């Protein structure tokens, strides 16, 4: 496995554009969120496979194949980074291959823990993180576990890693996520499952014949098809999004315009080479190599307007054009304690600072997580909306984003639903998802969080900003917010200083 990674490493020198970092870090010019006595945790690098529509080039793989590829690439890329740093700072006449091999082997053994997020689990690889790590050539002595928290599963993987590093248990963690919608589990009916178990226990021939005859009935043969639906409400997320749009008065035209914006910006970012987290992936078992996301397709308002409602028919406003599509993809990022990263020659991209998780009513507020998470993570960090240079919000539906923006701009909603004295305020659109989002790039449920955080860090450097805010909603009324960084999540990300 290690030799396979070395071959990929040598090949990656040809296809990856990695700038040579300086050997010493410069000090930030603005105030930072560093806290006395608290370990600084940095994002070293993040990568992802191209995000592809389900049923396309990845359709014959398994989820751990994509996770394994991301793990190999994050290790190879960071080793290459340090290798080029060593050449820049020391003797350039060293034997290149042996030096490269040394750096790669060191990086495989420098990782203390691996955490992966996923939503729809493949039963053969229940601890997907462990299977992917072993397949990628990591030592069997490196622990790994898998987490699930709907669309913020890899956000949870990242923050679980932050906890391990902050507590001093680990110095280096790889966090990632994967989702594979091309081959979701389709179960036998409950009746069929019961009959099969009974048949396995049956001794008498007559009993076996009786059970087999019951298996051939339509009620037993009808499978249980998977659905992206809430167990507690039995409502699909698309229905929730449609109702949310009606509540906040988000029109079909507004949704189509936002979706068109997402696709247009994603295409521009792709054409300009800004999506540097993308890896080139040779699809196992085929001659196909993929290097771009295949769901980015700018259309026209006229063409989008011809589509029929996808969920609430005939009067709904959610369509295939303004909703994220079923996606296959994997991602990985390396997070480390700052001094450990610097001692290994890394030039980190960003500090990972404060984060919050929030939850609310899974029926009427399923997708409103960013509205609740944004003010809380800003308050934890002691920042204002105006301090944020980069906003990266997960786009489950165009209507979900627009409903959140309207909720954040409403004094009435703030007072009656959030217990706040005034509205949250909305992110400026000239700082919001400027390289596209989940509507266009794709949304592999378990992998999107790493993409959001990595994109936020990359945008901070490209746009010369200091703070980024990452927010995402998730099924169950959950939300995540992270300061680079239903349920939801929010995180603050702070750009790592450069000269």
pLDDT in tens, 363-417: 888 899 999 999 999 999 999 999 999 999 999 999 999 999 999 999 999 999 9
Give whole-number Cα distances, 326 to 84, 312, 456, 482, in Å: 38, 19, 23, 25
Closest among 475, 400, 408, 363 to 246, alpha carbons compared: 400
Closest among 73, 76, 47, 70 to 132, alpha carbons compared: 70
Residue 230: what pLDDT? Answer: 78
Residue 80: what pLDDT? Answer: 73
Residue 210: what pLDDT? Answer: 96
Distance CA 82, CA 101 (A): 12
Residue 258, pLDDT above cutoff 60: yes
pTM exceeds 0.85 for this model: yes
Q: Tell me the pLDDT band of 474, cut-offs 50, 70 and 90.
A: confident
**365 contacts 233 by C-beta, under 8 angstroms:** no
For the chain, the C-alpha Rg in angstroms (whole number) is 23
* Sequential DSSP letters for 119-161: SS--GGGSSHHHHHHHHTT--TTS-EEEE-BTBTHHHHHHHHH
What is the per-residue burial (b if ≥16 Cβ within 10 Å, else e) of 453-476?
A: bbbbbbbbeeeebbbbbbbbbbbb
Beta bridge partners of 469: 391, 492
Q: Tell me the pLDDT band of 316, cut-offs 50, 70 and 90.
A: very high
Distance CA 491, CA 347 (A): 21
Whether residue 440 lies inside any domain: the answer is yes
What's the whole-number average pLDDT of the chain? 88
Residue 107: what pLDDT? Answer: 66
Domain end, chosen from 221, 244, 268, is at: 221
Domain end, chosen from 200, 221, 242, is at: 221
Q: Which residue has the higher pLDDT, 101 or 23?
A: 101
Q: Tell me the pLDDT band of 89, cut-offs 50, 70 and 90.
A: low
Strands of 258-313, DSSP E: 281-282, 289-290
Residue 473, pLDDT above cutoff 60: yes
Work out the number of other CB atoms within 10 angstroms of the CB of residue 389.
Answer: 18
Residue 330, pLDDT above cutoff 50: yes
* Sequential DSSP letters for 352-413: EEEEEEEE--TTTSTT-HHHHHHHHHHHHHT--GGG-SEEEE--SBHHHHHHHHHHHT-HHH
Helices 63-89 and 96-110 pack at an angle, to 10 degrees, of: 130
- Output 89-92 pairs: Cβ under 8 A, ≥24 positions apart: 89/23, 89/345
Residue 490: what pLDDT? Answer: 83
Highest mean pLDDT among 335-349, 394-408, 470-484: 394-408
* Backbone phi and psi for residue 165, each to the nearest 5 degrees, phi listed first: -75, -45
Beta bridge partners of 174: 114, 334
Residue 442, pLDDT above cutoff 90: yes
Domain end, chosen from 203, 221, 239, is at: 221
Residue 73, pLDDT above cutoff 50: yes
Q: Is 228 exposed, middle or buried (0-12, 13-18, 19+ CB in 10 A)?
A: middle
Which percentage of the chain shows pLDDT scores above 90? 75
Residue 360, pLDDT above cutoff 90: no
pLDDT in tens, 403-425: 999 999 999 999 999 999 999 99
Residue 304: what pLDDT? Answer: 97
Residue 101: what pLDDT? Answer: 56
Catalytic residues: 151, 473
φ/ψ region of 212 (left if φ > 0, alpha if ψ in -120 to 50, else beta) reads alpha
Over residues 167-192, the mean pLDDT reads 96
Which residues does 209 contact at the CB level (< 8 Å), separation at least 6?
Answer: none
Number of domains forming the structure of the chain: 2
Give the lowest-confidence range in 92-106, 265-279, 291-305, 388-402. Answer: 92-106
Question: Hey, what's the torsion of the CAs at 499, 435, 153, 32, to 10 degrees?
Answer: 30
Q: Where in the sequence is the domain holding 194, given as residue range(s)?
A: 190-221
Whether residue 331 lies inside any domain: the answer is no
Which residues does 282 contact at the CB level (< 8 Å), separation at least 6?
Answer: 288, 289
Distance CA 280, CA 48 (A): 9
Report the CATH number that the domain containing residue 446 is assigned in CATH.
3.40.47.10
Work out the number of other CB atoms within 10 angstroms of the CB of residue 65.
Answer: 22
Give the lowest-confidence range in 213-227, 387-401, 445-459. Answer: 213-227
Q: Which residue has the higher pLDDT, 20 or 57?
A: 57
The angle at the Cα of 356, spanning 354 to 359, to the nearest 5 degrees, equals 175
Give whole-number Cα distances, 137 to 75, 104, 176, 270, 463, in Å: 10, 11, 16, 31, 36
Whether residue 118 lies inside any domain: the answer is no
Whether residue 433 lies inside any domain: the answer is yes
Distance CA 397, CA 4 (A): 40
Whether residue 16 lies inside any domain: the answer is no
Over residues 443-460, the mean pLDDT reads 97
Beta bridge partners of 53: 327
Whether residue 270 lies inside any domain: the answer is no
Whether residue 240 lies inside any domain: the answer is no
Q: What sign for the dihedral angle of Cα 323, 325, 326, 327?
A: negative
Q: Tell me the pLDDT band of 345, cut-offs 50, 70 and 90.
A: confident
Whether residue 398 lies inside any domain: the answer is yes
Residue 109, pLDDT above cutoff 80: no
């Amino acid at each position: 496995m290690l030799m396979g990674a070395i071959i990929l490493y040598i090949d990656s020198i040809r296809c990856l554009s990695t700038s040579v970092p300086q050997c010493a870090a410069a000090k930030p010019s603005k105030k930072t969120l560093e806290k006395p006595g608290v370990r600084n945790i940095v994002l070293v690098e993040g990568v992802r496979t191209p995000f592809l529509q389900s049923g396309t080039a990845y359709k014959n793989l398994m989820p751990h194949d994509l996770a394994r590829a991301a793990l190999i690439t994050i290790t190879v890329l960071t080793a290459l980074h340090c290798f080029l740093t060593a050449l820049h700072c020391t003797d350039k006449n060293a034997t290149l291959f042996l030096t490269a091999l040394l750096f790669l082997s060191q990086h495989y053994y420098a990782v203390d823990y691996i955490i992966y997020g996923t939503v729809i689990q493949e039963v053969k690889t229940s601890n997907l993180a462990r299977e992917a790590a072993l397949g990628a050539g990591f030592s069997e002595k490196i622990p790994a576990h898998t987490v699930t928290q709907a669309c913020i599963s890899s956000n949870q993987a990242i923050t679980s890693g932050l906890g391990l590093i902050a507590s001093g248990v680990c110095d280096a963690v790889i966090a990632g996520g994967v989702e594979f919608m091309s081959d979701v589990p389709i179960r036998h009916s409950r009746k069929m499952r019961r009959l099969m178990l009974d048949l396995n226990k049956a001794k008498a021939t007559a009993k076996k014949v009786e059970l087999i005859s019951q298996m051939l009935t339509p009620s037993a043969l009808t499978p249980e098809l998977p659905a992206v639906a809430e167990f507690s409400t039995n409502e699909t997320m698309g229905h929730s999004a449609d109702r949310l749009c009606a509540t906040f008065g988000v029109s079909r035209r507004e949704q189509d315009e936002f979706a068109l914006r997402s696709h247009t910006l994603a295409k521009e970012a792709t054409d300009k080479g800004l999506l540097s987290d993308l890896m080139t992936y040779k699809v196992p078992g085929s001659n196909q190599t993929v290097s771009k996301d295949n769901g980015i397709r700018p259309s026209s308002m006229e063409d989008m307007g011809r589509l029929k409602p996808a969920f609430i028919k005939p009067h709904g406003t959610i369509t295939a054009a303004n909703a994220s599509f079923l996606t296959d993809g994997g991602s990985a990022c390396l997070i480390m304690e700052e001094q450990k990263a610097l001692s290994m020659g890394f030039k980190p991209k960003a500090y990972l600072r404060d984060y919050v998780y929030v939850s609310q009513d899974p029926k009427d507020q399923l997708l409103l997580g960013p509205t609740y998470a944004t003010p809380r993570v800003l308050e934890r960090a002691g920042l204002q909306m105006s301090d944020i240079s980069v906003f990266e919000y997960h786009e489950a539906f165009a209507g979900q984003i627009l409903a959140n923006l309207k909720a954040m701009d409403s004094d009435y909603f703030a007072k009656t639903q959030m217990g706040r004295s005034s509205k949250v305020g909305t992110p400026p659109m000239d700082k919001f998802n400027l390289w596209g989002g989940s509507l266009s790039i794709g949304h592999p449920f378990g992998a999107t969080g790493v993409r959001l955080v990595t994109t936020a860090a990359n945008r901070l450097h490209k746009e010369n900003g200091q703070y980024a805010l990452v927010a995402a909603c998730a099924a169950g009324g959950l939300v995540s917010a992270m300061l680079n960084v239903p349920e939801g999540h929010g995180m603050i990300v702070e750009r790592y200083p450069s000269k």
